[in-house]
Amino acid sequence: MFKFEKTNLFLNKKVDPKHYRHFVNKVPMVLHCHHYSTLYTQLALDAKEEEVLLKSMEEAIYPILENYYKDNNIERIDDKVEVACQYFSFMGLGKMSVISISENSAEVHLLRSHLDEGWIKKFGKYDRPINYIASGFIAAMFEVINDKRTNTAIVQEVQSIAKGAERAVFRVSTK
């Protein structure tokens, strides 16, 4: 019987000595807080431009995962999922659990969530799902794992921590 050994995310962190920019696996990253992420989300909601927020995250995450899998010869889907979940947590976005992935659909749960918990801290509970940042991450993960182009996944948050659920549930389909 095959024994699956959990892959560990490799993070090469560097600080540019000239301007002090922070790089993780050659990608410029920056620290921000839940005030910033929730206010960006609120702005997207108010402007009815949630899709812009989702796509911005999807487009930022897609090359990170794609390059990571390629550079580290990650080929097994279990490993790809594990790396994506660890990246999500490394970024402080919460605890993600991938329930299933096929070529045309997926179900992903968030057991903890930076954005939802930050939203509740700042604004209290809300009457609709708000986690378009996680949705973008999940879209990118689904697309990269399935060798699909960006902007081909549709992610819907069907259960929301910000609305009061214990865990968030995201369903993925394709265009």
Partner 1 sequence: MSIDRKRIIDALSKIEVAGNDNGLIEGFGVLVNQMPTTFWNNFAEKLVSKVDPGLIDATEYLLINAGHECGYHTGYGIITSDEWNAVVKPMIEKAPEDILYGAFAVFTAWGWADCEIVELVPNQRMVVRAYDYYESDPVKFGRLERPCAYMLRGISAAFMDLAYGGPYDKTGKKGLKTFTCKQTKGIECGDAYGEFIVVRAQAGYGQY
| 97/156 with CB nearer partner 1 | 97
CB of 109: closest distance to partner 1 in angstroms? 12
CB of 75: closest distance to partner 1 in angstroms? 24
The answer to whether 67 and 12 are in contact (CB under 8 A) is no
- In DSSP terms, 112 is beta-bridged to 95
Sort strands 106-113 and 22-24 into parallel, antiparallel or unpaired.
unpaired
CB of 104: closest distance to partner 1 in angstroms? 27
| 105/150 with CB nearer partner 1 | 150
| 10/104 with CB nearer partner 1 | 10
- In DSSP terms, 107 is beta-bridged to 100, 171
CB of 2: closest distance to partner 1 in angstroms? 27
N-term to C-term CA, the chain: 37
Contacts with partner 1 by CB under 8 A lie at 11, 13, 15, 18-22, 24, 27-37, 39-40, 43-44, 46-47, 49, 52-53, 55-57, 59-61, 64, 88-96, 111-112, 114, 117-118, 121, 133
CB of 58: closest distance to partner 1 in angstroms? 9
| 34/80 with CB nearer partner 1 | 34
The answer to whether 131 and 148 are in contact (CB under 8 A) is no
| 15/103 with CB nearer partner 1 | 15
Given the structure tokens 């973008």, which residue do they identify?
Answer: 136
Report the b/e string of 38-71 with b at 16+ CB within 10 A.
Answer: bebbeebeeeeebeebbbbbbeebbebbbebbee
The answer to whether 59 and 150 are in contact (CB under 8 A) is yes
